[in-house]
């Protein structure tokens, strides 16, 4: 049996392989978050930088996620920030950053 570090490297390799094959089903199978959680948006802010370039901020809420032992995790909140470009009439995500606001302590 492989040590945990090697098993984890295999999952990373499988994740990269699924991504590169554009196989959403395989990619989703590597994460329990996708299988049981529910994601909603509470606010979406779109700013056009140019007619074919936009900055998008998406405030999200995630419920139903489980931790590594299968126990429910508390609800989470965050912000996705995208840079999108319009190519051949279709808007595509070019850059994506995710910030989990749940992990940040409130300012006092």
Would you list the DSSP string of 74-88?
PPEEEEEEEEEEEET
Express each pLDDT in 70-104 by its tens digit: 888 899 999 999 999 999 989 999 999 999 998 76
Express each pLDDT in 16-27 by its tens digit: 888 889 898 988
pLDDT band at 105 (very low <50, low <70, confident <90, very high): low
Asked whether 44 and 69 are in contact (CB, 8 A), the reply is no
pLDDT score at 28: 81
Distances in Å between the Cα of 99 and the Cα atoms of 60, 79, 91 are 10, 5, 22
* Closest to 59 measured CA to CA, from 78, 86, 82, 83: 78
């Amino acid at each position: 049996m492989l040590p945990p570090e090697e098993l984890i490297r295999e999952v990373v390799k499988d994740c990269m392989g699924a991504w590169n094959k554009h196989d959403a089903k395989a990619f989703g199978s590597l994460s329990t978050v996708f299988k049981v959680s529910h994601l909603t948006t509470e606010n979406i802010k779109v700013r056009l930088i140019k007619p074919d370039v936009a900055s998008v901020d998406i405030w999200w809420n995630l419920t139903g996620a489980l931790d590594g032992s299968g126990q429910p995790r508390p609800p989470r909140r965050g912000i996705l920030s995208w840079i999108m470009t319009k190519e051949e009439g279709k808007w595509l995500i070019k850059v994506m950053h995710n910030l989990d606001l749940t992990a940040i302590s409130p300012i006092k």
